[in-house]
Structure 1
Amino acid sequence: MNPIIFFSVLATFIATLIIIGLRAAKQTKTTDDYFLAGRSLSLHQVAFTLIATQLGGNMLIGTSQWSYAYGFYGLLYTLGIAIGFLILASGFAAKLQEGGVGTTAALLEKRYDSLFLKKFASIISIVSLFGILISIVISSRALLISIGMHSEVAFALLWCAIIIYTMIGGLHAVVAADTAQVLFIIGSIGSISLYSFLMRPHRLLSLSELWQSQQLFVKSSQLDISRILATLLMPALFALVEQDLAQRFFAARSPRVALMAALAAGIFIIVFGFVPVYFGMQAKLLALPLPTGANPFLSMIEFITNDFVFACAACGVLAAITSTADSLLCAISSNIAQDFDYEAIGIKRTLVSSQLITLAIGIAAVVGSFAIHQNIIDVAIQSYALSVSCLLVPLLYACYSAQPRANAAIAATCIGGGSFLLFLIYPLALPAALVALPFSLIGYHVCAALAPH
């Protein structure tokens, strides 16, 4: 690829993000504006930012890696995301919006009247989201390597832009950038995909032919059932507890907006999820040579297009990565800034302090990414599992129980987390988080039965 063309497109992309952040900063006057956009987001704003939150490097880069090895089983991760959105659209998103709070941890405090539960839930959320953020940073580096950009300059410029526009504009900037990024992704990657489906350059196989070629990939009997279930179910269950999605529902202007946006996002993810699977499988069947660290998704696009189109596609994937990264940055910052009281050490909850927290989280994630060398989907799945094990049962009872019990919720959280760690050390045939959930549920009911109201 021509580096001049790529850096020109990348520079335009980065400049656009910074401009969006500066414009959004004019609307951001308070911490409520910074983290919740004044609780005024419309249907299209919530829908676009939900799509952007999940349409990240894990979905595009990670799914194509899975499809290169496992064929259509690469759809598992994307299908899990879509299932999560459909569950949210069935009513759970409205419950979150009606909570009238800023974080899932604060919702637990409101329903259970437990400060301990709030702080514990917030810590779990921060740890989980930070793990996912690191996986996003890793995927951005993998992307640059796959297109021959081994220089750290492009990597540093990209992350400086993400951190800066998120820091100065908050959720207003994130939503505006997400809308622009999703439209750019549809325009670039969507157009290339449509061209490939219809014109089939270089004798690409059709979807039906790919289906018939599934036996050439790793067979289901050779896959670890625990890994299959974790890849499918953890994204779906995590969607119910993750702060970055909940933050959008808290900021929606009405419960109906929250529900319809979740439904629209789920439908889009299902349709778009075939794109990385299609290109990942094509790369394997064409025996496309992949350099060390390269990704089949972008390698295929480079193979069938010219330098300019490929540069646009690469920036489209970068847009997917940044759209998830800014959401995670904003969500982690909201947990740290809103769920803890720092006045005892002389720090007040102000807009500036919130911005500095966002800056610190961004820098820490970039530094931390150099210490992780796992598959990016595996990193994300482990991060999902921790929150699901600890928080799913208490949050469901907080939303649907008429008289949620604080002691029972604390027991469910501790037993769920403890069981998860135990089965992580001594693994069974099923994913640790899925085994831990029944223990968490039993813990809630036993404690509720034994403890007085």
Structure 2
Amino acid sequence: MTIGDPILNISIFAAFVAITLVIVLRASKNSKTASDYYAAGRSFSGFQNGTAIAGDYLSAASFLGICGAIAVNGYDGFLYSIGFLVAWLVALLLVAELLRNTGRFTMADVLSFRLAQRPVRMAAATTTLAVCFFYLLAQMAGAGGLVSLLLGIDEALGQSVVIAVVGALMILYVLVGGMKGTTWVQIIKAALLIAGAGVMTVWVLAINGFDFSGLLGAAAANSDKAVLEPGAQYGLTDITRLDFLSLALALVLGTAGLPHVLMRFYTVPTAKEARKSVVWAIWLIGIFYLFTLVLGYGAGALIGAETILGAPGGVNSAAPLLAFELGGSVLLGVISAVAFATILAVVAGLTITAAASFAHDVYANVIKRGEVPPNGEVRVARVTVVVIGILAILGGIGVQGQNVAFLVALAFAVAASANLPTILYSLFWKRFSTAGAVWSMYGGLGSALLLILFSPVVSGTETSIFKDVDFSWFPLSNPGIVSIPIGFALGIIATLVSRRKESPALQAEMEVRSLTGHGAEKATEH
């Protein structure tokens, strides 16, 4: 199945890639030091960083996955939008500015500030890499489905080649541009994504006489599910009710533990600019999620769930199919290029975060104990980028056809289980110990991964990664309802039984720095 003109689609893709590569190359001229490569020299304004945060946060899950989920499941699909938006507010109110004031480049800078450096940095790097990997899987699945739809590639081999090409482009962007180049790609992508979604939203409403109720009625009439009320996906049985609760916990709590979003706060020069970026990000993200409601129901009304599910890319093809229905090949090409930009920008942000975590936390502070030669850390980060890119390509090939919003929800569950408890305890609990941090991170990560491995996501159903085998015993698709409490509980238990007493002076210094921003640009070594 091919929609639109493949030559036009490829031309728009190529033009976008060429323009952004030029921008990345220009930005890369100043990426010499670790601060330049990881934090863009802290040179971005609040407005620029807020737009980039929106670009980083509004992933393929937000555009492709949520539109598809609403088109197919209606009300239950919109729960993803609500969860992602509420989650962002939780992250901002609880941790974002405090983390920015306390750290330098990575989440582990904060977690190890008053705790033992080596074990905490190793644990934080491990959980960061795991979260980034799950999130990368979602973006790669979205990329494969999107480009396959535009080029009419139905067979798995062709989609695998597409995923490999996207991965190669991602590696090139991050190798060359570092955080500065990545940030400019995210800013451009956010502007294009919100503008494109806005145009389509107005178009869909105009077709329905700007009568939103009429649009909902048309979507309901074109679906065999009750898309205007709960229950199309969740709530039909006790298991699906639990699954919904687990999903909600993962979405609402997971953002505050996503290292690639939190790392964006290190690119602004002051705490004041960090607060400004927060305000801009909330507005942009909130407006976009309102657009997804119209686009999802619009796709359900104009395209229909059966056609969407039958297209290459499955549920992720709802937004491109809607664009083709509205404006033909030209709008399809433009919107698909925007979606492609979304994927590239987010995978670049994820990759540089993972590379920074390994190079800065493991190589520089654990292996070399801070004794790093000039440019050595950046060189290791670039090697790490290549390794992560190859792993993301292989993983993306394995999860083809999965809903990208669903895959991102798994990343949120891992983040909420492995990172969030330690972040909150480090910032707000004076007694919290190194043992508590290590047990919380490894225990939360291990329990989340174990439950995902033995869940219907991996085996036992028609939508599983391995359809022909069944080794699942955990009934829920999202592990958050079990793994998140485990992460919090292990942090408390290990701290209470630990005999090690952490430094009261460092704890006091961390409290002052997190609240005031004083000394935020200084090294956090002790």
TM-score normalised by the chain length of structure 1:
0.90
**Structure 1 residue 122, shift from structure 2 partner:** 1.0
Residue in 2 aligned with 1:409? Answer: 437
Q: Distance in 1 between matches of 2:139 and 2:58?
A: 11
The percentage of counterpart residues that share the same residue type is: 19
**Is 1:58–2:68 an aligned residue pair?**
no
- Residue number in structure 2 paired with 1:293: 312
Is 2:439 the partner of 1:436? Answer: no
Other-structure match for 1:221: 235
Cα displacement (A) at 1:258: 2.2
Displacement of 1:96 in angstroms is: 0.7
Q: Report Cα offsets for 1:219-252 as digits up to 9, x if no partner.
A: 3533712332343332332211111012111222
Residues 411-448 of structure 1 deviation map (CA, whole Å, 9 limit, x = unaligned): 33344345545655554779532333334333333333
Counterpart residue identity of residue 250, structure 2:
M
Distance 1:209 1:325, change over 3 A: same
Give, in angstroms, the shift of residue 265 of structure 1: 1.8
Preserved contact between residue 43 and residue 260 of structure 1 (Cα < 8 Å):
yes
Corresponding residue for residue 321 of structure 1: 343
Please state if 1:335 is matched with 2:357.
yes
1:284 to 300, 322, 332: 300
CA-based RMSD = 2.8
Pairing 1:238-317 to 2, within 5 Å after superposition:
238-286=254-302, 288=304, 289-290=307-308, 291-294=310-313, 295-317=317-339
Q: Which residue of structure 1 lines up, in the alignment, with residue 391 of structure 2?
A: 364
Letter in 1 for 2:323: I
Q: How does 1:160-179 map to 2 (within 5 A)?
A: 160-179=168-187
The counterpart of 1:397, out of the listed 412, 425, 428, is 425
Instruction: Tell me the distance in 2 between the aligned counterparts of 1:88 and 1:388.
Output: 11
User: Secondary structure at the residue paired with 1:341?
Assistant: helix
Q: Does 1:381 align with 2:409?
A: yes
AA partner of residue 20 (structure 1):
I
Are the structure 2 counterparts of residues 27 and 108 from structure 1 closer, same or farther at C-alpha, using a change threshold of 3 Å? same
From 26, 29, 32, the equivalent of 2:29 is: 26
CA–CA separation in structure 2 for the residues paired with 1:209 and 1:391 = 44
For structure 1, which runs of at least 5 residues remain unmatched after alignment? none
Q: Structure 2: where are the runs of 5+ without partners?
A: 455-472, 502-526
Cα shift at 1:63: 0.7
**How far apart are the structure 1 equivalents of 2:338 and 2:351?**
20
Indicate yes or no: 2:149 matched with 1:146. yes
Partner of 2:42: 39
For 2:149 and 2:477, how far apart are their aligned partners in 1? 34
Is residue 68–residue 296 contact of structure 1 (8 Å, CA) maintained in 2? yes
In the alignment, which residue of structure 2 is the partner of 1:3?
A: 6
Note closer, same or farther for the CA distance 1:211–1:334 as it changes in structure 2 (3 Å cut).
same
User: 2-side partners of 1:155 and 1:126: how far apart?
Assistant: 20
How far is 1:77 from its partner?
A: 1.9
How far did 1:8 drift?
2.0
> In the comparison of the two structures, how many residue pairs are matched?
449
Comparing 112-121 with 221-230, greater Cα deviation is found at 221-230
Seen in structure 2, the aligned counterparts of structure 1 residues 359 and 206 have a Cα distance that, compared at 3 Å, is farther
Tell me, in whole angstroms, the C-alpha distance in 2 between the residues paired with 1:432 and 1:271.
30
Match of 2:508 in 1: none
For residues 340 and 422 of structure 1, the distance between their equivalents in structure 2, rounded to whole angstroms, comes to: 24
The alpha-carbon distance between structure 1 residues 370 and 446, as it changes in their structure 2 partners (threshold 3 A), is closer
Per-residue deviation, 1:36: 0.9
- Check whether the contact 1:54–1:81 (CA below 8 A) recurs between aligned residues: no
User: Offset of 1:27 from its aligned partner?
Assistant: 1.6
Q: 1:100 to 1:92 in 2, by over 3 A?
A: same
- C-alpha distance in 1 between matches for 2:476 and 2:403: 21
How far does residue 307 in structure 1 lie from its aligned partner after superposition? 1.9
Alignment of 1:56-95 (within 5 A): 56-95=59-98
CA contact 2:303–2:322 (8 Å) conserved in 1: no
What is the match of residue 113 of structure 1? 116
Q: Is the 2:123–2:442 Cα contact (8 Å) retained in structure 1?
A: no
Q: Among 249, 260, 273, which residue is 1:233 paired with? A: 249
Given candidates 381, 385, 400, the residue that maps to 1:354 is 381
Change (3 A) 1:206 1:221: farther
TM-fit CA distance, 1:55: 1.2
Q: CA–CA distance in 2 between the matches of 1:408 and 1:100?
A: 20
2-structure distance, mates of 1:268, 1:322: 19
SS in 1 for 2:269: coil
Q: Which residue of 2 aligns with 1:209?
A: 214
Cα distance change on mapping 1:262 and 1:80 into 2, 3 Å = farther
Matched, 1:192 2:219: no
Amino acid at match of 1:334: A
| CA distance 1:363–1:228, shift in 2 (3 Å) | same
Structure 2 contact 51–284 (Cα < 8 Å) conserved? no
* Contact 1:55-1:323 within 8 A present in 2 as well: no
Change (3 A) 1:26 1:39: same
Runs of 4+ in 1 over 6 A off after TM superposition: none
> SS where residue 301 of structure 1 aligns?
helix
Measure the CA separation in 1 of the matches of 2:130 and 2:442.
16
Equivalent-residue separation in structure 1 for 2:162 and 2:450 (angstroms): 41
Tell me how far 1:347 sits from its aligned partner. Answer: 9.3
